[in-house]
Amino acid sequence: MRMSKKSCIFARKNDMKLLLTILTVLSSFMANLETKTLQSAFTVTVAEEVNAPMNYPGEIIMQGKKFRLEMMDIEAAYDGKTMYMYSAQTDELTLSNPTEQELVEANPLLYAKALVPVCNVTERTTQDGTQTIVTLTPKDQSIGINRFVLKVRNSDLMPLSVEIKEGKKTSTLKLKEPKYVGSHQPSVFSIQGDKDTYVNDMRF
């Protein structure tokens, strides 16, 4: 059955409303990070069809585009210019200047914002009305993912979880009691290592 012209127009208007909703949520969150600092524990769960899920706990601090992340024996930080990656297992510190595209791919929320124009968007409110679940489904599967699901807290538009499905693998990031805190010293967003640390400087 073909949709009438009126139904098509209504569908397009509804799609535009959903696009504006997710863009507003993400833009509001990123705007908050320009003046506030987000701190949260988190768990990344990686599940594949043939293997048991693997859980990786960690902690993150975000301020604007800057961040510091600690997960198992890995530390990562970005001070707005330099990316620091430290492995405690090898005592190696790698320095690089990431491109804008690499930063987008490293930050699930920036990635979601980039996905919006090329995805079908649906949203629903949880039964208790406190959260909204937004699902992005790529119109073209060549993008490389099957589904991106973002859950936000309605009271302050705080992201609570991100789920990315890629083929048979599903990766889920869940923030545990995320909160805005006072500003951190700039040194928080860099990693220095000690005198015995091997430094691999890939900056250009």
Domain ranges of the chain: 5-201
C-alpha pair distances (Å), 115 with each of 5, 67, 80, 118: 28, 21, 23, 6
Query: Tens digit of pLDDT for each residue in 53-112?
Result: 999 999 999 988 899 999 999 999 999 999 999 999 999 999 999 998 888 888 888 888
- pLDDT tens digits for 122-158? 889 999 999 999 899 998 878 889 999 999 998 888 8
Question: Which pLDDT value is given to residue 108?
Answer: 83
Highest mean pLDDT among 27-31, 38-42, 46-50, 117-121: 38-42
Give, in words, the CATH class of 5-201.
mainly beta
* Residue in 142, 149, 175 with CA at minimum distance from that of residue 60: 175
Q: If you search the block for the tokens 């705080």, which residue do you land on?
A: 158
pLDDT at 5 over 90: no
Mean pLDDT of the chain: 84
Q: What is the mean pLDDT of residues 175-189?
A: 87
Q: Which of 105, 100, 102, 98 is nearest to 144 (CA)?
A: 105
